[in-house]
A and B are shown apart, each in its own frame.
Chain A
Amino acid sequence: MTTLRRQSRFRDRRKSLSFLATGLVSALALTACGGGSGSGSTSSSGNADTLVVDTSFVMTSFDPDRALTPTLSIATRGIYDTLLTTTPGDSSPQPSIAKSFDASKDAKTYTFHLRDGVKFADGTKLTSADVVFSFQRLANLQLGGSYLMDGLTVSAPDPQTVVLTSKDPKPAIPAMVSTPAFVILNSAEVKAGGGTDGTDAPKADKADTWFNSHSAGSGPYVLSSYKADDSITLVRNDNYWGTKPKFARVVIRNMTAATQLLNVQRGTNEVALDLSATQSKPLASNKAVTVLTDPSSAVFRLQLNMDPSASSVSSNADFQAAVRDGINYDAMVQLAGDGAIQAPGLIPSTVPGALPASDAVKQDLTKAKQELSASGISSPSVTLSYPTGINVNGLDFATLAARVQADLGAMGIKVKLQGLQVANYLSQWGKGKMEMTVTYNLPDYLDPAYYSSFVPGASSDAVRAGWSKVDAQNQKIVDLGNQINSTVDDAQRAQLAQELQRDLNASSPYVPLMQTAQTVVSSATLSGVKLDPLWTLDVAAIGSK
């Protein structure tokens, strides 16, 4: 057989080669053609009119009342306005749609006076009715952000005035109305799109999908197109009441960090949001880009469980103390990269009431070992859960968990690691039975009152730590939480928050680890690129040099 084959080979070899080559050459020509003609204009971003923001995102909803994700908040900042606003580096609310506001002495009634002549992008006038509609819709949808409206009622005595009243004193209201959840929607448009602010909103509101192709705001930009998982395109709003932004078009693209790193170096007018401090370090010498490292508001913590039915080990107060004293915080901070700091308490430095660095817990192995033996648990073993599939400021939870495992292992505590896919993780987390977990928190609004949700008996965070029972031991912490919620004076509230954190550091299921930094890398031609603790980025403030 083989010999036969050999004989039958082709006589004219060149010929056979040449026609085969034709096919190959045409294939190569296609590649070369694309490459050749493109060499002049292949910068991944566009011309002078377009600003490109690269970030990796998973969108949940484009409806600002439904879901809060960092990417959404960039677009939301561009499209919508809020009553008050904060600027990066200054957490005190400034006038925006409301030109001023009055607070009652008891911090139960806040009256906002609206600016004249504000129009939505479609030309209709923004009135107090729109504000009422937006806030009531937020409350009645009963979704992620609805808790912010708990105990609040909104009313409009006249078209230019909005009144927010609270059952209990709520000095955090000005901070709250500066956040993405409290954006002001064009009520007529949203209603036409199927939205409602009635109490039947969870079922009757059908505007969810409508928001994927429409925007209903008064901000500097309007939504031009949204491709799920891919890109959001904003174009300038010609009816904008304030200063017109520099860029006519903003494209927010979904890119992995790896691609962002390449893009920002080759692009023009480009911002990359997800680079870790280490990734952007070599860029410092690159003249084409500006690297900015700002503290993010994300505080990572180790959380144990106070509920003895969830774990007899992690609910043991001495064991908790041993864990707290056994962690190598310096190594943790090093893992988080440049710009990260040890978190002295639960409150990040971007929020009033953060603890000074001197209050941070130090690793003390001798003390930790004593505490461990005081706990009376012989050969302790715990399961440490962590979310997988997400990373925060370039930081992976599995790496943190492994670090905790090593630290505690050195003390004789056996730690079993359990990575849970993030959707699974959240479900488990919600049940409040996790023995031990590495997690993080980003505040929904920049006020110490937000952190009262960590004290026992509070409805959300404390429940996840199995800390729902109020007893004699934690009574002081509970009282502090209540006081923070109701104290009107800002300075006093911040002081109470510090006291609360010191108490929590002494005895609680929370072990604050570190506050990460967020790095923003942008083309050097851009000006005004600043990290915003609430909105991530204000694209309207970005200009060119």
Chain B
Amino acid sequence: MSLRSEASSAEAVTAGPGPSESRPSWYRRPLPRFVAGRFLASLVILFGITLISFMLTQAVPADPAVAALGQQATPAQLANYREVHGLDDPLVVQYVHYMKNLLHGNLGVSQQTHNSVMADLGSFVPATLELALLAMVMATVIGVGFGILAALYRDRWPDHVLRVVSLSGISVPVFWLALVLLYLFFYVWGLLPGGGRLDPSMTPPPHVTGMYTVDALLHGQWSVFVNALQHVILPSAVLAASSIGLLTRYTRSAVLDVIDQDYVRAARAQGLSERTVVFGYVLRAALPSVITVIGLLFANVLTGAVLVENIFAWPGIGRYGYQAASTLDLPAIMGVSLFVALVYLVVNFVVDLLYGVLDPRIRVT
């Protein structure tokens, strides 16, 4: 969803994004210490997430036994189920039991799919990743392009138009946009397929990455690739919409930030072509900020897939998480939450590292 992506980047304007709290200090501290510190902090966060999701699901007045056995179950059967699944144990015991399994890499068995949560994640994550990656590619290409354009035409009509366009991208309700596009592209014009990852008559390509487009290419299955690509375009375009808006804004700011710097002006004075100036100096200097935003957006796109995946019948973790939350499937909720948090932490970490590598000023210090 967009609230936090917008907010966290809006926050960047005023106070710097969360992970960057350590940013000014990382190049002062030795890298190993920085990594170790981050790792420990991440462990604390992940632990907190298990605790919160566990407490939340325990607070639910629903009885998992009734949910599993249905309306006709007798009290004896319910008691039996509770005993088998350890539901009568004290909460602390249940939690310790869960954590013990977690440390062994066992996320438990989903009450809903009756698969191990690990296996479920293994099959759902690549689908979401495929969606999110394409969305980020679209958003980056278009958003950065718009941003540079807007900066170069600062306060003139292309800038104003792009501003309205990017604000529209942030303002449009994702689920509504998804339905409108589905209606037009699938139902009215018949240009693109209407949901799922592949036509039912097609057999998925052999599993390598789990991303159908990539796997199909790896095996040279051209028709499968085209079919999979057609399926992924609409949902990823919808996911990209709000990211485009934000990326436009931040690219514009970042480019404006450097465009008047002395070295850029010097480069221009030396008679370098505009293309060289923009690509060689301006964009390069703006890159760290843009990468930070892309990182933040990527983590958010991954979690923001809930609505889009539901509408496009996309079997990713968004829909899995939605189903898990609506059936109060504790192991699955915990699994999805932990996975998403992990992605969030890793992406932030990578972004921070990249930031240091890419920002010339930081490197100079």
Q: Does A366 contact B (CB under 8 A)?
A: no
Minimal beta-carbon separation of A227 from chain B (angstroms): 6
Interface string of B240-268 (1 = CB under 8 A from A): 00000000000000001001100001000
Q: Which of B206-263 contact A (CB under 8 A)?
A: 226-227, 229-230, 233, 237, 256, 259-260
Residue from the list A39, A142, A209 in contact with B114, Cβ < 8 A: A209
Bound-state CA distance A41–B231 (Å) is 12
Interface string of A37-65 (1 = CB under 8 A from B): 11101111111011010000011111100
Q: With A15-B274, A68-B70, A202-B84 given, is the CB distance from A49 to B201 under 8 Å? A: yes
Are A8 and B113 in contact (CB-based, < 8 A)?
no
Bound-state CA distance A262–B190 (Å) is 10
Minimal beta-carbon separation of A39 from chain B (angstroms): 6
Are A26 and B61 in contact (CB-based, < 8 A)?
no
Are A27 and B141 in contact (CB-based, < 8 A)?
yes
* Chain A residues whose CB sits within 8 angstroms of the CB of B187 once the complex forms: 262, 265-266
Q: With A45-B200, A46-B201 given, is the CB distance from A262 to B186 under 8 Å? A: yes
Q: Does B313 contact A (CB under 8 A)?
A: yes
* Chain A residues whose CB sits within 8 angstroms of the CB of B328 once the complex forms: 421, 423-424
Are B72 and A144 in contact (CB-based, < 8 A)?
yes
From B21-29, B291-299, B319-327, give the one contacting chain A: B319-327
Are B315 and A59 in contact (CB-based, < 8 A)?
no
Q: Which of A444-469 contact B (CB under 8 A)?
A: 444, 453, 459-461, 464
* Chain A residues whose CB sits within 8 angstroms of the CB of B142 once the complex forms: 23-24, 27
* Chain B residues whose CB sits within 8 angstroms of the CB of A389 once the complex forms: 326
Residue from the list B76, B145, B201 in contact with A47, Cβ < 8 A: B201
Q: Does A212 contact B (CB under 8 A)?
A: yes
From A109-117, A426-434, A511-519, give the one contacting chain B: A426-434
Minimal beta-carbon separation of A385 from chain B (angstroms): 12
What's the interface size class on A, roughly? 35 or more
Are A8 and B259 in contact (CB-based, < 8 A)?
yes
* Chain A residues whose CB sits within 8 angstroms of the CB of B56 once the complex forms: none
Q: Which of B115-174 contact A (CB under 8 A)?
A: 115-116, 120, 123, 138, 141-142, 144-145, 148-149, 152-155
Are A44 and B319 in contact (CB-based, < 8 A)?
no
Interface string of A142-160 (1 = CB under 8 A from B): 1111110000000000000
Interface string of B315-354 (1 = CB under 8 A from A): 1000110010011100000000000000000000000000
Are A147 and B73 in contact (CB-based, < 8 A)?
yes
* Chain B residues whose CB sits within 8 angstroms of the CB of A211 once the complex forms: 114
Are A230 and B192 in contact (CB-based, < 8 A)?
no
Q: Does B275 contact A (CB under 8 A)?
A: yes
Minimal beta-carbon separation of B107 from chain A (angstroms): 14
Are B72 and A16 in contact (CB-based, < 8 A)?
no
From A165-173, A250-258, A404-412, give the one contacting chain B: A250-258
Are A430 and B63 in contact (CB-based, < 8 A)?
yes
From B4-12, B32-40, B95-103, B177-185, give the one contacting chain A: B177-185
Minimal beta-carbon separation of B170 from chain A (angstroms): 19
Q: With A5-B154, A5-B260, A263-B194 given, is the CB distance from A427 to B313 under 8 Å? A: no
Minimal beta-carbon separation of A165 from chain B (angstroms): 21
* Chain A residues whose CB sits within 8 angstroms of the CB of B195 once the complex forms: 44, 255, 259, 263
Bound-state CA distance A15–B319 (Å) is 45
Q: Does A282 contact B (CB under 8 A)?
A: no
Are B66 and A44 in contact (CB-based, < 8 A)?
no
What's the interface size class on B, roughly? 35 or more
Are A209 and B109 in contact (CB-based, < 8 A)?
yes
Q: With A16-B278, A229-B315 given, is the CB distance from A460 to B71 under 8 Å? A: yes
* Chain A residues whose CB sits within 8 angstroms of the CB of B313 once the complex forms: 230, 253-256, 259
* Chain B residues whose CB sits within 8 angstroms of the CB of A50 once the complex forms: 200-201
Residue from the list A41, A61, A423, A460 in contact with B74, Cβ < 8 A: A460
Residue from the list A16, A38, A63 in contact with B193, Cβ < 8 A: A38
Are B77 and A146 in contact (CB-based, < 8 A)?
yes
Are A26 and B190 in contact (CB-based, < 8 A)?
no
Q: Does B311 contact A (CB under 8 A)?
A: yes
Minimal beta-carbon separation of A418 from chain B (angstroms): 12
Q: How many A-B residue pairs have CB under 8 A?
A: 246
Give B320's nearest chain A residue, CB to CB. A229
Are A61 and B237 in contact (CB-based, < 8 A)?
no
Q: Does A374 contact B (CB under 8 A)?
A: no
Q: Does B41 contact A (CB under 8 A)?
A: no
Bound-state CA distance A258–B313 (Å) is 11
Give A251's nearest chain B residue, CB to CB. B200
The interface centre, meaning the residue of A5, A62, A229, A254 with most chain B CB atoms within 10 A of its CB, is: A229
* Chain A residues whose CB sits within 8 angstroms of the CB of B320 once the complex forms: 228-229
Q: Does B191 contact A (CB under 8 A)?
A: yes
Q: Does B69 contact A (CB under 8 A)?
A: yes
* Chain B residues whose CB sits within 8 angstroms of the CB of A24 once the complex forms: 141-142, 145
Give B109's nearest chain A residue, CB to CB. A209
Are A212 and B114 in contact (CB-based, < 8 A)?
yes
Q: Does A35 contact B (CB under 8 A)?
A: yes
* Chain A residues whose CB sits within 8 angstroms of the CB of B113 once the complex forms: 59, 212, 228-229
The interface centre, meaning the residue of A41, A44, A203, A212 with most chain B CB atoms within 10 A of its CB, is: A44
Bound-state CA distance A20–B151 (Å) is 12
Are A459 and B66 in contact (CB-based, < 8 A)?
no
Bound-state CA distance A8–B151 (Å) is 11
Give A213's nearest chain B residue, CB to CB. B115
Bound-state CA distance A44–B100 (Å) is 45
Bound-state CA distance A60–B186 (Å) is 31
Minimal beta-carbon separation of A31 from chain B (angstroms): 6
Are B230 and A34 in contact (CB-based, < 8 A)?
yes
Bound-state CA distance A289–B7 (Å) is 47
Bound-state CA distance A539–B14 (Å) is 60
The interface centre, meaning the residue of A12, A211, A422, A423 with most chain B CB atoms within 10 A of its CB, is: A423
* Chain B residues whose CB sits within 8 angstroms of the CB of A142 once the complex forms: 76-77, 80-81
Bound-state CA distance A444–B70 (Å) is 12
Bound-state CA distance A495–B196 (Å) is 49
Residue from the list A20, A35, A254 in contact with B148, Cβ < 8 A: A20
Give A4's nearest chain B residue, CB to CB. B260
* Chain B residues whose CB sits within 8 angstroms of the CB of A10 once the complex forms: 152, 274
Are B192 and A38 in contact (CB-based, < 8 A)?
yes
Give B139's nearest chain A residue, CB to CB. A27
Jot down 29 A-B pairs with beta carbons below 8 A, ordered by A: A5-B155, A12-B274, A35-B230, A37-B230, A38-B192, A39-B190, A46-B200, A59-B112, A59-B113, A61-B114, A142-B76, A142-B77, A142-B80, A143-B68, A143-B77, A147-B73, A209-B116, A227-B315, A255-B196, A256-B310, A259-B182, A259-B313, A423-B66, A423-B326, A424-B61, A424-B328, A427-B66, A429-B66, A461-B71
